[in-house]
Amino acid sequence: MTSPHAIDAHAASSSALATGIATATAERTPVPTTVLMCSPRYFDVLYAINPWMDPTVPTDTALAVEQWNELRNTYTDLGIVVHEIDPVEGLPDMVYAANGATVVDSIAYTASFRFPERQPEGDAYAAWLRDHGFRVVEATAVNEGEGDFLVVGDVILAGTGFRSTLASHRELAEVFNREVVTLVLARPEYYHLDTALAVLDARPGHEQIAYLPSAFSPDARAELERRYPNAIIVDEDEAAMLGLNIVSNGRDVIMPARAERFAEALRERGFNPVGVNLSELLKGGGGVKCCTLALRFSENEGD
């Protein structure tokens, strides 16, 4: 069994070895980052449970695997440690690993999917996390993992309106003993929080996000404006290519290559945007972040 301590130590070591790979900035330093991914070996669009999915449009599984490999290799080139869970035949959406759980302080709060087509994924991810030394807490409320739960500083931003329930927000706060900020999503094409909001720097005291205001209810927009007055606002066109569905280590921001205006805004803030193309996986309504589950550890683990 691999412990979270061992995984985290590996992350720190690999990150240190890779500091010269990406374009360095004067303002920002990458933090050790470890993620879990799942190959799209069985990816297909066989049903429609979000506005992006159309089973009548052909999918190219081989291309999806090729693009996913590009994303995985980009992570490793940047010093991000990648672990892989074996895909399960019959679960075509399992590639969207972010939905599989929420992992904070070496605790894994399991997913409980809204749609029956995806419900078995929760058990598969829970088993992997348990086998690798995480303390698994079974959810009793409907939630879709990091699709709707994003850690920023000492709080967890939590989306609701289409998938994860308010009851899961209350459960999340109890499991992690952190403040949970409820944000109501208002547009069905932004059905998960991670399609409408990006965490660029999660360090307490250095919090930086980007988001699309029109994806949120008026109260949620007001809360985001209050908490993050210096947030980057992404335009409608680039949000519509899932430009906000990104992964950041605090310096390098892995994102859709087509989101050029967002990339320029990131450079102006001292980040290093790194573009990838996940056009085939976009047919299922997922992008970079959707394919990536963060493995976060308690402070007394690692180096």
* SS3 assignment, position 39: coil
pLDDT at 75: 98
Categorize the per-residue pLDDT at 301 as very low, low, confident or very high, splitting at 50, 70 and 90: low
Annotated catalytic residue, options 38, 132, 169, 290: 290
Is 290 known to be catalytic? yes
What are the residues whose beta carbons fall under 8 Å from the beta carbon of 130, sequence distance 6 or more? Answer: 108, 136
Average pLDDT, the chain: 91
* pLDDT > 50? residue 20: no
pLDDT at 300: 61
For 49-60, what is each residue's pLDDT tens digit?
Answer: 898 899 999 999
CATH 3.75.10.10 describes domain 4-18+29-294 = yes
Report yes or no: 126 and 151 within 8 Å, Cβ to Cβ: no
For 170-206, what is each residue's pLDDT tens digit?
Answer: 999 999 999 999 999 999 999 999 999 999 999 999 9
Annotated catalytic residue, options 38, 132, 169, 192: 192
pLDDT at 27: 76
Overall residue count recorded for the chain in this entry: 303
Report the amino acid identity of residue 230. Answer: N
Domain boundaries, the chain: 4-18+29-294
Is 38 known to be catalytic? no
Predicted model pTM: 0.91
User: What is the average pLDDT across 42-51?
Assistant: 93
Report yes or no: 23 and 272 within 8 Å, Cβ to Cβ: yes
